Amino acid sequence: MFRTGNVWTVMLALAVLAWPMTFRIMRAAVITAKNQDYVMAARALGAGPWRIMFRHILPNSIAPVIVVATINLGSFIAAEAALSFLGVGIRSPDISWGLMIAEARDRFLEAWEPLLFPAFMLSLTVLAFIMLGDAVRDALDPKLR
């Protein structure tokens, strides 16, 4: 749909495709938090709906969204690299690991380093964000304490 191939259009396309999953996770967390005892106790003590929402429901339902966003960040980096590799994402003169891998693919038999290093760093970055999301989940999950 977008013919420009710059960073902003790729980010917009990935965000448009990813927001429904994040929205479903947030909705489920809010529905779960809304039925907890501390929310009913706050209502019984006379707290207004805005106070209940911002002091009780939102802080207790934002943790799953942070975890999923951190894990998805690695997936977004991999998706951008895949789109750039296929030629529908970021285009030259911009810089992308997918572009670097695509340009080095043709010269692989002559020199393997230009292909191996961007692919290794891409894999390492995606793995790091997935592991960071797992660590954030462990830190924010009250059931694991």
More confident residue, 123 or 91: 123
Q: Full-prediction pTM beyond 0.85?
A: no
pLDDT at site 110: 83
The tokens for 139 are 């830190």
d(CA 125, CA 80): 13
Summarize pLDDT for 73-113 with one digit per residue, the tens. 988 999 888 888 888 877 778 788 888 888 888 887 788 88
Residue-level pLDDT at 83: 86
Burial of 91: CB neighbours in 10 Å, binned 0-12, 13-18, 19+: middle
